[in-house]
Every structure is written in C-alpha cells, then in structure tokens.
Chains A and B, each alone.
Chain A
C-alpha cells in the first residue's frame, strides 16, 4: 500500500492508483473533463491539476493521470491550483463558449468575465462545443477498438475527425463517443456512412433508445442491468469491456450463458399479460404514416415522468406541445370484420385518465374523444368519466372516425357525430389510438405446454365461465390477468389474488383430494401401445415399468396420474384392449344401470 497526504489528510491506496483515485477514496471531488473511469487517462484537459507540494517533483500535475506515490503531499485547492483551473476554464470558454459544462464549471469557479476573446464566431454548431479533450478518440481506439475517429490537424486547429476526413467505414455506430463526450459535441452520425442504429427502448415503445447494457424498466425485478448481446460491442467485436472495467462490484461476467431451469412445482399460474394490436393495419387512422398518431400505450410513456421525454408532452413531429389532441376509442376492438369482436375493457377508463393527464401537461389544450359508448362499469368508474365530461376536460363525441389525414402540420380527424347527425373535422396536433388488447405473443405455445385451451382470440380458457373463472381444465394451472381476457388493474389484481390462494390451497396439503371419477388402468391387460397418452388432454398418462423382484422389467404399461386426470374418459374410449375404465363409470356399472332401467 502507498500512503500519501491529500489536503492534510492521510490516505492509503494500492500501487498503480492515481492521485484522483486516492482523492476519491477520501470523498474529495476534483473536477474532470477528459477523464472517464473506463478509458485510459490522458491528462489532456488539465482541469484536474493538483499541486505536489512535497514527496515528488513539486508542481502541478494532472490528478487523473499521475500515479500516487509514497509520501506525496498534495494540495487540491491551493491558490496555484485554483488559478490554473480558472485559467483553463477561461481558455476553454474562449474556445467553446456554448459548452454548458464549461459555463457551469466557470460559474462554480467564480469566473464572471473572460480576458480572452472567443476564438471564432459561433454558429451554434454542436462541434463548436468540442474542447479537444480527446476522450472520444481514446475510447474509440483503445476501448472500442474501432479507431473510427482520430485527431486531425495540430495545435489550435486540431479537431476530431475521421482518417482522411472520409466517412468512416469502421464506425460501429455504437454511440459510445457521444456517451462519454463531456460537452455533447460529437454525433456519430457525422462519421458513419450507414445510419446509426439506435437500440429502441422496448419499455418506452421504442420512443427513445437504450444502451446495450440496461435495466429493462424502472421497477424491474430484479432491478439489475442485463447485457443485450446482439448489440453489445464486446459480444459483437470482442472490444470494449468498459462495463467490466468500471463495475466496482466486479459483477460483469461475459461468460455467463442463458440456462434452462427445471423446478418441480405443485401449481402454475399463467400471468402473461397482453399486447396492443398494431393499428397500422387500419390505414385510415394514419398510424405509422404520421408521427403524431400514437397508440395510447405510447401516449402513456410520453406523459410518464420516467418516460422518454421525462414527462414532457410534445409532438413527435416537431417537438411542440400539442394544442389539440384527439383520442379515438375502439381501434380494432368491437369490430367484427377485420378486427376483434370483443371489448378491450380498459380503454374507456384510461382515455378519461389520459384526458386529465393531457390537461395537466397542456393547460390551454383541447382534447376530444371519439367513442362508441362509454363502458364504465366499475366502482366509481362512471363518476370518473362524468367528471371528465362535466369539467370539460375533454369533449366527448359519440361516433366513429372515418379518416385521419395531414393538412399542413395539422392532422385532420374526420368523423361522424352521431348525436347531432353531422360530420365533424378536427384539426389536431396529435391523435391517440386506443388500440385493441390482444394476448401476448407466444401464448399459443404456452397453452400447449400447459395443456390449457384457448379461445378463438388466443385468450386462455377458464374451466367454467361462472363457477371456476380462475381454474383451467388442467388441474393445478390457474389464470391471472389479461392472458384470460382484457382486464384493468383492479380486476387483474383480484384474479391474481384468487389464483394465488387457489394455488396455495393446493400445495398447503400433504394430500390432494380429487374427484373419484378418474381413469384406471388394468395393468394385466394393458399392452403398452400408449394410444391413450396421445388423447389425454391433461397430460395425465405416462409410462410405468412393471418389474419382478430382481428388478427385471416385465412390461411397460400406461399409468394415470390421479391428480391430473379429469375423468373425461377419452383414454377409456381409445383403449383397444379395454384396459382403461373410468371409475364409477365402468362398463359393467353402466350396463348394470341400463339393465336396471330396462327391467
């Protein structure tokens, strides 16, 4: 260990650490610009200079790039240091007056005027913010390994460029340069010939982008980052590895593989949620054609404080606040032809909520809702919608919209007001489509795995619509939420609670009780053809080996899991050797019953 003194405080660091590392471990903040923990330091910007008072050659040294040495005595705030920092800031301000970081730092250092003239007339181009710290260049060369950008020119004419000023064909478009740039001066799109592919942030409906390593969404469980291998430079090229360098916990492991986990369980609850159908199939609404036509889920993210715009509602087309907004209900729902015949159940309520949220964001805005009828059958639901109507938060227009089209920078929403029997046209800034809810993709594969039926729309089937709405026909499999049918949050929570208690009811006993009427195999006559296995809808039939005392296999026969069998009798009907019968409905019992009737 190396012991040194910083501002009079002793600190111990490992050999190889820098003065900046040592200062950090004391909780001291030294300003930096060209430094990033994942990139080899260069000491280029000189903002982090500190004064070596004793223990090494005295003078100013860059904390980020100077090794801590035994017995060093360092001052981080001496007059000499502060004078140097102020001068550095003034010089950087003269070069890049528009760089906000520099302005802020200058303010923090009490700089009110600059003796140096601005280097050139500012045009507002973002490259003028470049302070030549070289972090992007070092990153691209030494970490990413692409060497797509470099320095061009010398001295004050130095600039960040590509070799020979050509568009770079080695740029990966990873955007790491823009990520580390302290002043926001670089845009990889300027260097890359192919468009920079941003990774859409799935949780925000692709309205913004995310990094390859990311936490899927703010309340994710577990709330830990994951690496998207398809986009990670490390996995694509073997370069980078920055996350591993900077992770203080050493938690990054590139060798980890996805794995199959097998668990033996007593009950399964399906809770796969829903998706929004793609409304671009209805060309009349212009979704996908006009950026200002969005789905209600996209709108939900747009007004969310943790969303892509941090809650600021703006038109995707031009960034202006939407002064007029139109909500269209039943897009795809309750539509027999070319749509979903069912009601999506939640749109009426969330649209009323969206209207309120909209008014919170755009006080002087006007909201319209085109609806078929308002379905507000829940506790206090109707009052909620009525408030929106009464307080004129939104104007409700009963009728459907025939077309949305652009005129100038407006979207014209043409529809029928069936109450007044007139055609209406609204010049809107934004249109929000309440697209139908559909089951999650992949639900059919899941239903096969679970041996649970599904309806024509793909929603999983309950065992009985009235009496067993949480159970499925497969014992031990329960349903919760929108895998079953479109539901809002209270309904989903209620069903999930019920499913959970059903599951608990199953697993809390040491023995299961079952219906007595289940299939039974006569092992002496079963010839092991396993026709029955194929027809069992509940996966209750498996193979069983009959053994003698020495353990030699005598025969393989069908075996019925008594917990799973629902007594449907399909196996009995299929069995050619008549080796399966349903208890209580054995052939002899049925014949006896028939005989009794005939007597």
Chain B
C-alpha cells in the first residue's frame, strides 16, 4: 500500500477518497490492445478470402495464424488482473447478461473455437494429412491428432473444406467486428465516465483495431520474410499499405469527430476533460497517439498514394510506419483506459498514475504478456508453416 501513500501526495484538486487507486492498469490496456490486433489481423485475412483481393495472398495464412496466436493470449491479462482469477469461470457459468463484460467469455470462445480454429483447420486439413504421413516422431503424432481423424483427401472432401472454410470466414467477419466492437462497448457503456461514455467508442475501437491488426501483419510479414530470407512481395505490401491508409483515415476522422463533438457540446465534464487532455495526457495523446501513431503514418502512406518511391526506400518506410502505428494504437488504448481513470468523477481533480516496473501489474509483466503471442506465433509457424503448404495451388 506504500505506493498509494505516494500517490496521495500527488493528487491535484479534489477526488473522491476511493478514487486514489487506479483500478485498471497496464493489463487492461493490453487486453483491448491484443484483442484489437486479433480482430484486425483476421479482418485483413478475410479481405483476401471473402473479397477476393488476390494480391494479399502471401499474408493470408500469416494473418490467420497471427490472429490465433494473439487470441490465445488475449484473455490472459484480463484474467490475471482479477482479484480472484480462479473465480473467472463464473463469467461462463452465471453470466449476468446485463453486463458487457459477461458476454466476453462467450464471444471469446465463439471466436476462438468456432471461427479461428475451424477456419485454420479447414484450411490446413489437407496439409495436415499429408504432413502426418511425411514426417516422423512426435511431429507426426501432433499432425495426426490435429486432423481429428478426418483423413479423407478425396477431391470431394477437399471441396467441402473450401466451402465450409469460406462459410466460416463469412461468419468470422461479423464475429471479428463483434469481438472488438464489444470491447469498445465495455468502455463506451459506462455512463459514469464522460471520457469513455460515447456511442462512437465501439466504432473507434473497431477501427483502431483494424489499423493495429493490419500494421501488425505488415510488420510480421516483413520480419518473417527477412528471417526466411525470401523476397518480400511488394505488390502485397503496397496493397496492405493502401488498406492501412484507408482505415487510418476512417479511424482518424472518427476519433476527431468524437473530440470535436465533445468540444462543441462542452458538457458538464468539459473543463475537467480539457485539463486532462492538455495536462496528464499531453504526451500520450498528442505526441504518441496523434503525431507518431496517426499523422506521420497518414502523411507517409498518403504520399505513397501519389508517388511510390523505390523499393529499397519503401520497405524500411513501411516497416517504420507499421511500428509507429502499433505504438500509436497502444497509446490510444492507454489514453482511454488510464485517461478515463485519472480524473475524478467529481470533475474537481486528478489522481496520478505511475507504471511500476515489477509486480503483476508492472512493466515487466506487461512485456511478458506482449512477447508471449510472438512466441506462440513462432511455434505455430513452425508447426503449420504457410510456405510449406501443398494445397496452395489447389485452393
């Protein structure tokens, strides 16, 4: 409790006495951040499949597997931040349906089991059967289990794989929207908090999720290509850049609209939010999220729409842009989660927040959560390498 006494000294103005401690810290920032990456990556994958954007083909499987790796981790920071993690099953057994958070368990399971796993399974089933015959030892076992015993690879069965996979993708798009729109709703539905309570919140979350997910796939595609020492498909990268640009514009417009609306309506909470934005959130909002995460990528990608520089130049720029966007969206989540708790609901003062280094809610732990999906992804890529798929030509 030492840190609370420390914070007590840094309280500005008046806050309700229970508001000194921020209830939601870095872990709750990671939760919407990671789910956002999932939703975004998945939507990028579906673009290829459902909207038949063929140039995106090289990233299709990567995007899917990325979504899976991040989804596996997505719920963990949330659960580990609970006061009683072992009671978390209650969300599934007795969900209180009036609560946005209660649906989380089901949305999560739906998305994991029905959408992602099934889509990947349909997509890889043919290869799993082949690989289970080709490889030896433990790997062979794993592949065998993963086929779930469905080893029929007649053209008829393969046609079904394709068909069912397609249906799942079509279901998957609204599911991805649901998954993240709903995360926005968790915040947007809190009428007590004027910084959160806006109908646009789910939409903003969704768009920023798409932005971050697309940037993540862009980033990973380049990294994976470098590691594998294969040539990056520039047409594909440009296409991703194009989509990133489009969604960024939408995201930027809506977020600005939200702020303009706030400023123009200037409700009861306006003064305190103004102080928040120009005070405690200056760096994270204007510099990190606004300038670095949005404006610079927007201008760069916009410039690329008019003039495409040489490949040698474009690659590092794309790389940089994807990093900036990922960084910016992280701080978007930061500004929502932390910003919403810094000011008092009495609108008369601020508490303060300092990210600790150690402990369950500390920086290092957050870093672990952030690295974990990448490790899982490397494992999945090792197990199910998209570049070794046999079915490539048949699909």
- A and B, one complex? no
Chain A positions near chain B (C-beta within 8 angstroms):
none
Residues of B participating in the A interface, judged by any CB pair closer than 8 Å: none
